[in-house]
Structure 1
Amino acid sequence: MSHLHFPLTAIVSWIRILANGDATQVAMTGKEGVVGIYLLMGAAHTHNRGVVQKAGTALRLRISVVLGSFNQGNPVQQLFLRYTRTLLTQIAQGSVCHRHHALEQQLCSMLLLMLDRQEGDSISLTHEAIANLLGVRREGVTQAAKRLMNDGILNYTRGRITVLNRAALERRACECQSVIRDEERRLLTTV
């Protein structure tokens, strides 16, 4: 890669693919971050793959231009380092979440993370795509989504999820989404 991408309205999932082809989302980047942060750390490549989950706009800057400011140790560098800290929190929290929280809680947290990175209450994702992102079976996602629909928290029609009651979704989510959100707010809004 020769460019960094700064999503404005797009959402990009960082997917980790195993040797057997299985894959799981390890992080998500939207308007709060940058795709390609590893390039600023001197890496030429990554084992993760960026997959656009929500099409939209992004700024694209040549890495050589960004490195010029980054290497001066100024506020630009500090901002990228703060974002990297939030990214590490997201990856670590996701790892703990997959090990210790129920699928329904993980689903709620993932939906909230997506909502935090976009405008509006609707998300375009199929149950199959969600299952791939969470590294679980599609049937489990379908059952969890059905419970949330039956409780009036969301509506799902043909790959489109509409959150009807965000407060209830937050109550059903594990603490992981709020840990990630609070860390992003603490580190990225106090610039």
Structure 2
Amino acid sequence: MGEIRQTAVRNNLLRLLPTTSFTAIAMHLEFVELPRGFELSEPHEEADYAYFPETGIASIVARSPQGQHAEIGIFGRDGMTPAAVVLDAGSDPFSIFMQVQGDGYRISTALLKPLLDQDGELKSLLGRYVQALSVQGAFTSLSNAVHHIDERLARWILMCHDRTDGDEISLTHEFLSIMLAVRRPSVTTALHVLEGRKLIYSERGMMIVRDRQALEEFAKDAYGECEREYNRLLGPYH
């Protein structure tokens, strides 16, 4: 692949880098396809690569020893993975993989680590992103504890919509059940509620946002706080 121009990339973190920092990292970036189900990093394993998605949506899932699982975060062109490399933590216990196919750039973690050590602005930018991601996880926990499933579903749809071009989002019932930590019949019921209010249209494997403003109003305070924190730390990404 030829030279990567910063003005042409879509990943917000790469776009926000100072020119000198981008130039240093760009020479090591490799463009890759990211199909649905692609494993970005495995639990308790040091990742070989760090990924900066351009399109698509990745899911961060926590799993219990007995096999229970729930999504604790998502990211797309707004972020990168794994956070552990930014924190110099080696690995984390999460499963991180693509839920909506896309593409992006990757860099060997063996090359990224010295860049983080040498470039304070790169480390600061990615550190602010890790903070924003931790806030997203915290508010996901809060939402799971206090909000009704219909409001939680509206929140996740809005978050996916933020990271998608247009109003069509490729979301399966299986993905939604992981996002909401509920069984698939509960997902179907919640989708019917949103469809009945004409907020979305849902068909097999695809969802269309019909009324974004009304969907935000329906989600109430389940949506918005972690988005404001990202904007405070890094600015808008959509």
1:180 equivalent among 206, 222, 226: 226
CA contact 1:106–1:174 (8 Å) conserved in 2: no
Counterpart pick for 1:22 among 48, 64, 68: 68
> Which of these residues, 196, 210, 213, is aligned with residue 150 of structure 1?
196
1:63 is matched with: 109
Partners of 1:61 and 1:128 in 2: CA distance: 30
Q: Kindly tell me the number of residue pairs found equivalent between the two proteins.
A: 190
Residue type of the alignment partner of 1:156: S
Aligned with residue 106 of structure 1, among 126, 144, 152? 152
1:1-191 aligned within 5 A:
1-72=47-118, 74-189=120-235
What's the C-alpha RMSD, in Å, of the aligned pairs? Answer: 1.4
- Offset of residue 37 of structure 1: 1.6
User: Contact 2:50–2:82 at 8 Å: present in 1 too?
Assistant: yes
Quote the Cα distance in structure 1 between the aligned partners of 2:192 and 2:222.
22
Percent identity reads 28
For the 8 Å contact 1:15–1:24, the answer to whether it is kept is: yes
How far apart, in 2, do the equivalents of 1:67 and 1:45 lie? 13
- Looking at structure 1, the residues matched to 197 and 87 of structure 2 have their Cα atoms a distance apart, in angstroms, of 45
Contact 1:124 1:159 in 2 (8 A): yes
Cα displacement (A) at 1:123? 1.3
CA distance in 2, matches of 1:128, 1:36: 24
Distance 2:84 2:66 in 1: 24
Change (3 A) 1:17 1:109: same
**Gaps in structure 2 of 5+ consecutive residues:** 1-46
- Bigger radius of gyration, 1 or 2? 2
Q: Which amino acid aligns with 2:137?
A: I
| C-alpha contact (below 8 Å) 2:59/2:71 kept by paired residues | yes
In 1, are the aligned partners of 2:73 and 2:137 still within 8 Å (CA)? yes
| SS of aligned partner of 1:50 | strand
2:224 is paired with a residue whose SS is helix
Higher relative contact order (CA 8 A, sep 6+): 1
Contact persistence 1:23–1:133 (CA under 8 A):
no
Aligned-pair CA distance for 1:183: 1.0
Moved over 3 A (4+): none
Q: Partners in 1 of 2:180 and 2:74 — Cα distance?
A: 12
What secondary structure, in the 3-state scheme, does the structure 2 residue paired with 1:15 have?
Answer: strand
Output the TM-score relative to the length of structure 2: 0.76
Rounded to whole Å, the distance in 1 between the matches of 2:66 and 2:224 is 33
2:55 is paired with a residue of what secondary structure?
coil
